[in-house]
Structure 1
Amino acid sequence: MRALLFAAFATLALVGSAYADPLSTVSSVEVKLSPELQKKATAEYGVKEVDRLAGELKKDVERELQRTGVLAGGKIELTLIDARPNRPTFKQLGDRPGLSFESFSTGGAAIEGRAITVDGVVTPIRYDWYENDIRQARMSGTWSDAYIAFDRFAYKLGRGATYARR
């Protein structure tokens, strides 16, 4: 019985590897912060919050490139140029006692970088999105518009739409 079970699993493993995707996924996605955003993070937003934003951008881009297979085996180098929160961050609330979490504003993000294909072709990438309607911000979280910008950027990058935008 054990031999039969082992043979069945071995067969499934061989068959499963035959259907595996022959192209590798994106070899690396690197996200850095611009010097200006690093200064804002230290002085105004909080370093942990902005680092979490960079992690979210990386995760979103990896997810979309994995899903679509665009730039398989390549490299993406991104710089988070700017990010604006919809609501005050914890650091802002701590630094200004009169500030309320119920305060809200429009937010968004700006991203620049480059895509490097397997054969070394470098393509500049640039994307920004900021909400322009304050009515959309009332029910938002602290970084909702920045997350929307990341999702839209990743979606367009995964379909090749942000390469030509300058």
Structure 2
Amino acid sequence: MRAALVSTVSALLLLGAAQSALAAPAVSEVKVSIGPKLAEKADDLGQRDLDILSSELQRAVERRLPPRPGGGTLELVIEEAKPNHPTPQQLGNTPGLSYQSFGVGGARISGRYVDPTGKSTPIAYAWWETDIRWARYGSTWHDAEDAFDRLADRLVKDQFSDKR
């Protein structure tokens, strides 16, 4: 009986230590921008869609890491993004292109987290869908939004890079 109690207490202590090691960084501000290579594609993708991507990334991160006083700053840059369906701009630019066209998408994000003391930690993350079977059912930027959600989940766990 005593051994079971000791092992249970030990497990709880280890779990608590693991959770504090994976504590979310304190964030007071999230800044999102579009990288230069992606910005060059504004005429093809549409500036409106790039603005939507920026706001979706900010929303995904702030939903999981709500800004609070005394935290650091997350500076995120959407370097690359690929839609699942043609954007309205692409449909307008290309006669005969259909919204029913689909493909796999995703996004690559870089940036840095600057903590309240000024220490900077680089951020690098990319996620690209590999299975086309579900692509037809999602929104224009479904896979890119999945990449944003996955990045936000990693940031909550204090994982700033997808490098192993």
| TM bracket (short chain) | 0.7 to 0.9
Q: 1:117 maps to which residue?
A: 115
The CA deviation string for residues 89-109 of structure 1, in whole angstroms up to 9 with x for no partner, is: 001101111100100000000
8 Å contact kept, 1:26–1:66: yes
Identity %: 46
Whole-angstrom distance in 2 between the partners of 1:58 and 1:66: 10
Q: 1:128: how far off? A: 0.3
**In the alignment, what sits opposite 2:56?**
56
The answer for the alignment partner of 2:160 in structure 1 is: 162
Report the structure number with the largest CA radius of gyration: 1
Give the TM-score normalised by the residue count of structure 1: 0.78
Unaligned runs of 5+ in 2: 1-25
Q: Give yes or no for contact 2:110–2:125 (8 Å, CA) kept in 1.
A: yes
C-alpha separation between the residues in 2 aligned to 1:131 and 1:32? 23
- Going from structure 1 to structure 2, the CA distance change for 1:146 and 1:100 (only over 3 Å counts) comes to same
**2:83 aligned residue:** 85
Contact 1:109 1:149 survives alignment (8 Å) = yes
Q: CA RMSD in A?
A: 2.0
Displacement after TM superposition at 1:64 (Å): 1.0
- Aligned partners of 2:70, 2:79: CA distance in 1, in Å? 25
Q: Is the 8 A contact 1:125 1:165 kept in 2?
A: no
Are 2:31 and 2:74, in contact at CA under 8 Å, matched by a contact in 1? yes
Mapped partners of 2:119, 2:34: distance in 1: 24
Alpha-carbon distance between aligned partners in 2 of 1:121 and 1:101, rounded to the nearest angstrom: 45
The 3 A distance-change label for structure 1 pair 85 and 154 is same
Measured after TM superposition, the shift of residue 165 of structure 1 is 3.4
Matched residue type, 1:38 = A
CA distance in 1, matches of 2:117, 2:51: 31
Distance 1:107 1:34 in 2: 17
| Residues 122 and 160 in structure 2, CA contact (< 8 A), matched pair in contact too | no
Q: Secondary structure at the match of 1:93?
A: helix
